[in-house]
Chains A and B, each alone.
Chain A
Amino acid sequence: MKFDETTPGVALDGLRPAPAQQWGGVRLIPLLRDQVHGDLRLCERKNTAHIVDVGNGTAYCSFMPHAFILDWNAEGQALAAHGAQLRTKDSRTPPRQTTVLHRMAKREDRNTLRFVPLHLAMEGYLSLHFGGPDVAWTEYSREALSRGLSPRSERSVPGLWLAGLADALRVFEIHEGQVGVLVFVADALASAFVVPHPEDYRALHRSLLADFYGELLFQYGLLHDAVQSIDLRIDGARVHDLADLRAAVQAGRDEWHAHTALLTTGLLERSTHWQTVHRAGPFRLRRFIGELQPDRESHIGEAIVRADGTLEYLKTYRLSAAQIRRAYLLQHLAAHEWHLARTAEALGDTYEGLLVRLRNAGFGHLLKPHILRDLR
């Protein structure tokens, strides 16, 4: 994965947060768009494919409940979402066949792009240093040298498993002009979801359940069954007439920007690396990966950005601690040409310590067995 840009965070340009609605342990912050262009629409297609051919002979296997279809129009004319669309390319359907999607993002028509939400970002994360060691140091197994990290896999949980998310989405009251939502489980940012048009959002609101989330959020959902509501507080002493009262309510509303900024520091203010996947008209489909520090939260995701910087589409996934650790180790190994001693030194650890960390992170198969045998 080659990055073409690094920003100090994901900027929610053109979006305005509204007061949160919480239910049980889940807090949902609506994101409103004041200026809707209407020339870009997103709709859902129920997908049955499990395997994606990502090019260069690599396959990405996962359960993918749906894909998003992006429609744009050069004349600025609104296109209605038709709900689920199903178009198969091959007419012959032999028994026991698995559909293979070609590419994560593929242009299907002159003005239509199909992509698999979140898997685009996840594939980017999984392919980090996918090639394995560049230099054949003696510690690495033959397997690692010849096949790299393949097969590389990660686990996540579906939204349906997050305690309370289904109910929270059911009772959520969608605002007029709402195009997105920030999902928090026990006040940990689980996901951000933004679409181009309010009607698309109404149609795709429930699709948050079909997305996948890190296991950390699954545990948080089980452990915390309620979060505090952030209520409006008015200082009565400063109110002398109804106009003051109205101003005080407005001031409370404005505070929401501060609340939201506080809750989303991990996404909005950590340095983020971007890669452009597809260009279409004035839009760029990009995926990103946040800064990888073991003691901090980190998000991966994908976004569609208009030429003027407006965020048209966003979907993020919060990496769990173990996932951050794995990527962190790989990053440091790659930075030191996969030399174990030098990497250990850079990490402030001993040689044996690094071996233990690699083994515990699930990368034991990269090393020769006799090296790991003597470790505690």
Chain B
Amino acid sequence: MTMPSATGPATGPATGPATGPATGPVPSDSAVQVARVAAAAARVAHEDLVIFLNACFACTGQREFYSDGHQQTVSIAFLHDYIRGNYRRLYARALAAGINHFNQGRIVLELLSHSRELTAEDRREEGQLCRAALNSLPPQRAYRVLLGLRERGVNNRRCRAIVREFLAQRDLNFDALKYRSKLHGLVRHAHPHLPGELGPFLARGWHARRYTTPLLEQFRRAHFSADAIYGLPFTVAEGLAARHGIDRARFLRRIEPRLTAGERLRLQSAGSRAGADINLDLARAPLTRLALYILGLPAEQRLARAAELDAALTHSARRCLGIAPLRLGRVAAVLDRSYSAAGSREKPRRPLAVALGIDRLLAAAAEQYLPVWTGFAATDATQLTARGQTDLATPILDALDWRPDLLIIVSDGFDNDPPRGGGEVCRVFRERLDPQRRTTIVHVNPVFDAPHLGPRPLDPSVPTIGLRDAEDLPTVLAFARFADGGLSLTDLEDYLQARADAFITRHAGPEPSA
């Protein structure tokens, strides 16, 4: 009897007949088989995790240019189910990998709603990660995640403890106004102990009595006195202003000091329409939000304020690098501004804004930098529009002519003039012209392509990584090594472990009492 040879292709997990290893006369052969199966399993696990993390960087379950919202939801739900079922520990640590808020929330929800047969140690680590994630999320998102527990009908000791610890971090009097329905829903589900007058306030409403807590009393008085509304958060005051019939311009002028940075950016055009100027330091806005704001302005305003907007973008990019440092040498970027960069109704102009943000980020981070936009006319960055076909091949060739150390391609991966032109150029360049990998090529994709369960790749020779905000570029560039396939599963596990530890320390908050 001849045994299957151990020199068979290393890619197949089991090449011989199924009875081979069990009845084999030579024990070393079966050991080789076992090792081979283990290696294959590790490789599959590595690929699975890379796909999952990539999806988590890009996908928000919203409609994209090419695939609709429903496809996105189905696709990402499958990925979460699959990874949670097979790689639970790594799934939990993915919370710390720098993935976007939508997926962080989803992971917390999945972890809390499936917790059977966990060891005490895993339970503890997951608890810490969930707590850190909830603290790091914007409050409205964190509340929505916890309300997801109510929707799924999950209510156990672990969940109640997580809710209690989360609420202990928050200024509940403020939340009782700004996130009233969410806090109320959560309280009705998890029954945490509420301090002060919050219980009666949430249960019976503002009109039940006078309150001694200043913020709650302010809210009550704001129902009777138009002047009292200016002490409330903007979103709460807005409804009451309508009720008092206050003129919009007057309201915006007086509420202005209470506005948050995000609200200031959002209300710019509403303010100018109403004739109330809202002060905004553009340079302090987050890079992608700023880029979205600029791209959303009418063309004549963008032209008139070009210098100011340009300076704000550069400043914002520098500030962003101050938070997450990135030092690069000779970098070229190929930036896609084809019609598909217009995004969808739910994410208008986001791919284009991400490209613009990355452009500014690289300009600030690199010693030498060459941006190449797709399309014909070379216009100023603030005059960008999403228009025309996608021709990636020509700009990639232009960029490679310049001999960069690092080439970053920002595109949704749909290349149509000629189709797959960019991918073929990268493949041939890698195979024939640069086998020593002197130039690193990374494809950064801001669009989740639902049928592919991830960002659409250009070519297997180029690692493709997903991205939601331009600010995350340093994180995803660090992750690109794993997407490239150069590193093993152990490396990935170590990377996630290190990030998880740092994440927990950063967002731990005060030690829980119990």
Contact = CB atoms under 8 A, between A and B. Distances in A.
A264 interface: no
Interface in A237-282: 237, 239-242, 245-246, 248-249, 252-253, 256
B497 interface: no
Given A239-B432, A239-B433, A249 B389 contact: no
Interface stretch (A107-115, A168-176, A333-341): A168-176
B66 A171 contact: yes
Contacts of B258: none
Given A232-B393, A242-B400, A171 B428 contact: no
Contacts of A19: 416-419
A237 B428 CA distance: 9
A230 interface: yes
Contacts of A256: 418
Contacts of A176: 375-376, 387-389
Interface in B384-419: 387-390, 393-394, 397, 400-401, 416-419
Contacts of B375: 176
A229 B420 contact: yes
A18 interface: yes
Given A171-B340, A175-B388, A234-B428, A242 B433 contact: yes
B65 interface: yes
A171 B387 CA distance: 12
Interface in A138-183: 171, 173-176
B389 A173 contact: yes
B390 A232 contact: no
A231 interface: yes
Given A229-B419, A234-B424, A249 B388 contact: no
Contact of B424 (A20, A173, A232, A246): A232
A305 to B, nearest CB: 28
B202 interface: no
Given A173-B338, A229-B419, A229-B420, A249 B376 contact: no
Interface string B362-396: 00000000000001100000000001111001100
B389 A252 contact: no
B390 to A, nearest CB: 6
B447 to A, nearest CB: 12
Contacts of A30: 389
B431 interface: yes
B425 A249 contact: yes
Given A173-B390, A174-B389, A239-B433, A232 B376 contact: no
A249 B393 contact: yes
B422 to A, nearest CB: 9
Contacts of B420: 229, 231-232
A21 interface: yes
B419 A230 contact: yes
A246 B399 CA distance: 12
A248 B394 CA distance: 11
Given A236-B431, A239-B433, A173 B421 contact: no
A232 B419 CA distance: 6
Given A171-B65, A173-B340, A245 B417 contact: no
Contacts of B376: 176
Interface in B20-64: none
A233 interface: yes
Given A173-B388, A239-B433, A242-B397, A253 B340 contact: no
B429 interface: yes
Contacts of B416: 19-21, 173
A179 B420 CA distance: 24
A20 B425 contact: no
B419 A20 contact: yes
Contacts of A232: 393, 418-421, 424
A252 B417 contact: no
B389 A239 contact: no
A353 to B, nearest CB: 48
B343 to A, nearest CB: 12
Question: Interface residue tally of chain B, by bracket?
Answer: 20 to 34
Output the residue of B375, B389, B427 with the most chain A CB within 10 A: B389
A256 B421 CA distance: 13
B339 interface: yes
Nearest to A172: B339
A252 B422 CA distance: 12
A17 B432 CA distance: 31
Contacts of B390: 173
Contacts of B400: 242
Interface string B314-342: 00000000000000000000000011100
A234 B422 CA distance: 11
Contact of A240 (B339, B427, B432): B432
B407 to A, nearest CB: 13
Contacts of A173: 338-340, 388-390, 416
A22 to B, nearest CB: 8
Contacts of A234: 424-425, 427-428
A212 to B, nearest CB: 27
A236 B431 CA distance: 8
A239 B432 CA distance: 7
A175 B417 contact: yes
B417 A242 contact: no
Contacts of B397: 242, 245-246, 249
Contact of B428 (A18, A229, A236): A236
B425 A241 contact: no
Nearest to A28: B416
Contacts of A253: 418
B446 to A, nearest CB: 17
Contacts of A20: 416, 419
Output the residue of B388, B390, B418, B425 with the most chain A CB within 10 A: B418
A85 B495 CA distance: 63
A292 to B, nearest CB: 35
A245 B66 contact: no
Interface string A79-112: 0000000000000000000000000000000000
A233 B340 contact: no
Contact of B429 (A21, A229, A237, A245): A245
A245 B425 CA distance: 7
A174 B418 contact: no
Contacts of B421: 232, 249, 252
B417 A231 contact: no
A50 to B, nearest CB: 34
A249 B391 CA distance: 11
Contact of B388 (A174, A237, A245): A174
Interface string B89-130: 000000000000000000000000000000000000000000
A263 to B, nearest CB: 15
A232 to B, nearest CB: 4
Nearest to A249: B393
B301 to A, nearest CB: 23
B389 A18 contact: yes
Nearest to B342: A173
B149 to A, nearest CB: 37
Contacts of B387: 174, 176
B385 to A, nearest CB: 12
A236 B461 CA distance: 14
Interface string A172-205: 0111100000000000000000000000000000
Given A242-B433, A245-B425, 15 more contacts: A19-B419, A20-B416, A171-B340, A174-B387, A175-B417, A176-B376, A176-B388, A233-B424, A234-B427, A237-B432, A239-B433, A242-B429, A245-B433, A249-B418, A252-B424
7 contacts: A20-B419, A21-B419, A174-B387, A176-B376, A176-B389, A232-B419, A249-B418
The 4 closest A-B pairs by CB, nearest first: A231-B420, A173-B339, A232-B418, A19-B418
